[in-house]
């Protein structure tokens, strides 16, 4: 989760830790026949490199060069870890199928390089702030204001054949509505699925609002964005009693770097959390029954079975699903993150990997309710909570508590 604008600015000003010297990022965009759209990806990659202080290259799924495999081939000889960050708004087939497949092929070709896969942009506070600003620009152009006028907003996305992706558009629209004084915020689509933009606009006209702000939820100013503008212009002409206009796409706004920075941190620390509970590749959703349990899911299941097979002794041949002796949770919520929790998380994981004695799993946690006393680290089943933990304290927690069951007393915040 983002630590907020001021924390981000402070973090970008700090010198790059030595541990990042052998690391690179690959920013993956879709690719377009319009070079202007491809330049947007390259521009964001260059700005992200300035923000993170490590190499960031751009790659594309199709229609532009370099491909993911070619870009990784160029980076692999120079670094030991590459984190792929996906410049996709929502998780549909490209995020769930195409990028992971390209990464698996790259891993097979470059076994000496750790290649980690980060998440898509998704729903993020920085994106909500950006959309809010886009809406206020349109309001100013129309001469309207939310406090004085009955104002509706339409968030218009491309639309997908993946229901989970479409559901996130509705979630983003609802979050944009909360606390922002719009009379209504509706989710709509320019293609593939419903409700279509023209239908949503005509329905809104029945309530006779003073104005309608249409926000194209697109990265670039391409064909679909222009189509949204055209539909909005047609609506504005058809209903003279409603002022309507469309805003600009996300573009290369600096707030996207906040999102990409968070997705990079999640990817490089193995903390990516996808919204898979309602994914059509995992469960049967009405109308998508043929997609669930398909060829890709079966191949994954067959591969995964090999990890469980032929284990006569679990202790001698442990598996990632086996319960560890200790579970360590590190709060990476806003306050703890600003105080250095991500570095603590990574250092703990490294110390556990280097230890030959402890059996522990290190995971990130949301707020532990001790804001101001962090970074907080909770060790279970012992129920010991450590406060004010720095990255240098991670070695003591592992070597003393996890290795030898000796509590690090000067760090104890409380015991449960």
Domain ranges of the chain: 20-120, 125-246, 326-415
Q: State the CATH class of domain 326-415.
A: alpha beta
Token duo for residue 209: 């609002």
Task: Give the three-state DSSP class for 55.
Answer: coil
Task: Give the three-state DSSP class for 399.
Answer: helix
75-134: per-residue pLDDT in tens?
Answer: 999 999 999 999 999 988 888 888 888 998 899 999 999 999 999 999 999 999 999 999
Task: Assess whether pLDDT exceeds 50 at residue 58.
Answer: yes
Q: Which of 113, 90, 87 is nearest to 31 (CA)?
A: 87
Half-sphere exposure of 47 (CA within 13 A, CB side): 17
| Architecture (CATH level 2) of domain 20-120 | 3-Layer(aba) Sandwich (3.40)
76-90: per-residue pLDDT in tens?
Answer: 999 999 999 999 999
* Spatial distance between the Cα atoms of 58 and 120, rounded to a whole number of angstroms: 15
* Spatial distance between the Cα atoms of 402 and 225, rounded to a whole number of angstroms: 54
State mean pLDDT over 6-16: 37
Q: Which of 373, 407, 401, 399 is nearest to 387 (CA)?
A: 373
Task: Assess whether pLDDT exceeds 90 at residue 33.
Answer: no
When computed from its CA atoms, the radius of gyration of the chain, rounded to whole angstroms, is 24
* Spatial distance between the Cα atoms of 142 and 213, rounded to a whole number of angstroms: 9
Token duo for residue 299: 């191949």
Distance of CA 114 to the CA centre of its chain: 20
Task: Assess whether pLDDT exceeds 90 at residue 5.
Answer: no
* Spatial distance between the Cα atoms of 398 and 224, rounded to a whole number of angstroms: 53
Strand ranges for 318-398 from DSSP E: 326-331, 360-365, 377-380, 384-386
Q: How many other CB atoms sit within 10 Å of the CB of residue 286?
A: 6
173, 155 Cβ separation under 8 angstroms: yes
pLDDT score, position 40: 94
pLDDT score, position 93: 80
* Spatial distance between the Cα atoms of 111 and 107, rounded to a whole number of angstroms: 6
DSSP secondary structure, 115-172, as one string: EEE-----S-HHHHHHHHHHHHHHHHHHT--TTTS-EEEEEEE---S-HHHHHHHHHH
pLDDT score, position 308: 46
Count of H-run helices and E-run strands, the chain? 15, 13
20-120 shares its CATH topology with 125-246: yes
Q: Which of 106, 42, 94, 32 is nearest to 68 (CA)?
A: 106
Strand ranges for 286-393 from DSSP E: 326-331, 360-365, 377-380, 384-386
CB burial string 333-347: b at 16+ within 10 A, e below: bbbbbbbbbbbbbbb
pLDDT score, position 324: 72
pLDDT score, position 83: 97
Q: How many other CB atoms sit within 10 Å of the CB of residue 112?
A: 7
305-334: per-residue pLDDT in tens?
Answer: 455 444 444 444 444 445 678 888 888 888
Strands 384-386 vs 412-415: parallel, antiparallel or unpaired: antiparallel
pLDDT score, position 97: 81
125-246 domain in CATH 3.40.50.1400?
Answer: yes
pLDDT score, position 291: 61
State mean pLDDT over 48-73: 93
Task: Give the three-state DSSP class for 394.
Answer: helix
* Spatial distance between the Cα atoms of 49 and 21, rounded to a whole number of angstroms: 13
pLDDT score, position 66: 93
pLDDT score, position 16: 40
Run of H or E including 202: helix 197-205
Q: In the structure, what pLDDT confidence band is assigned to residue 354 with cuts at 50, 70 and 90?
A: confident
pLDDT score, position 205: 96
pLDDT score, position 283: 67
Q: What share of the chain is helix, strand, coil (3-state, %, to 5)?
A: 45, 15, 40
Strands 384-386 vs 56-60: parallel, antiparallel or unpaired: unpaired
225-273: per-residue pLDDT in tens?
Answer: 999 999 999 999 999 999 999 999 999 999 999 999 999 999 999 888 7
Q: In the structure, what pLDDT confidence band is assigned to residue 50 with cuts at 50, 70 and 90?
A: very high
Task: Give the three-state DSSP class for 246.
Answer: strand
* Spatial distance between the Cα atoms of 222 and 35, rounded to a whole number of angstroms: 11
At residue 55's C-alpha, the angle toward residues 11 and 59, to 5°, is 120
Half-sphere exposure of 73 (CA within 13 A, CB side): 9
């Amino acid at each position: 989760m983002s630590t907020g604008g001021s924390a981000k600015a402070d973090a970008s000003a700090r010198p790059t830790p030595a541990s990042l010297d052998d690391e690179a990022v690959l920013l993956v965009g879709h690719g377009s026949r319009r070079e202007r759209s491809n330049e947007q990806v390259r521009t964001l990659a260059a700005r992200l490199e300035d923000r993170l202080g490590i190499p960031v290259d751009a790659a594309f799924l199709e229609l532009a060069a370099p491909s993911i495999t070619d870009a990784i081939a160029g980076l692999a000889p120079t670094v030991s870890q590459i984190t792929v960050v996906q410049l996709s708004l929502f998780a549909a087939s490209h995020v769930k199928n195409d990028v992971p497949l390209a990464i698996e092929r790259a891993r097979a070709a470059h076994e000496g390089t750790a290649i980690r896969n980060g998440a898509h942009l998704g729903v993020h506070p920085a994106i909500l702030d950006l959309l809010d600003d886009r809406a206020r620009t349109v309001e100013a152009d129309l001469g309207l204001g939310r406090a004085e006028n009955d104002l509706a907003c339409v968030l218009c996305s491309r639309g997908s054949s993946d229901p989970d992706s479409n559901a996130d558009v509705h979630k983003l629209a609802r979050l944009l509505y909360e606390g922002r004084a719009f009379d209504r915020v509706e989710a709509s689509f320019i293609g593939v699925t419903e409700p279509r933009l023209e239908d949503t606009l005509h329905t809104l006209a029945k309530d006779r609002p003073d104005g309608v702000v249409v926000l194209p939820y697109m990265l670039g100013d391409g064909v679909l964005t222009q189509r949204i503008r055209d539909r909005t212009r047609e609506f504005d002409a058809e209903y003279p009693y409603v002022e309507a206009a469309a805003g600009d796409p996300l573009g290369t706004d600096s707030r996207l770097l906040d999102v990409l920075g968070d997705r990079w941190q999640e990817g490089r620390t193995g903390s990516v959390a996808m919204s898979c509970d309602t994914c059509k590749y995992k469960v049967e959703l009405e109308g998508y029954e043929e997609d669930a349990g398909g060829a890709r899911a079966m191949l994954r299941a067959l591969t995964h079975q090999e990890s469980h097979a032929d284990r006569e002794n679990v202790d001698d041949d442990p598996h990632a699903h086996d319960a560890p002796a200790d579970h360590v949770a590190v709060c990476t919520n806003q306050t703890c993150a600003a105080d250095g929790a991500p570095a603590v998380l990574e250092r703990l994981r490294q110390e556990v990997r280097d230890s030959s004695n402890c059996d522990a799993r290190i995971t990130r946690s949301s707020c532990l309710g001790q804001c101001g006393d962090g970074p907080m680290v909770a060790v279970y089943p012992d129920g010991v909570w450590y406060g004010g933990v720095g990255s240098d304290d991670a070695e003591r927690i592992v070597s003393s508590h996890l290795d030898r069951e000796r509590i690090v007393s000067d760090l104890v915040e409380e015991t449960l």
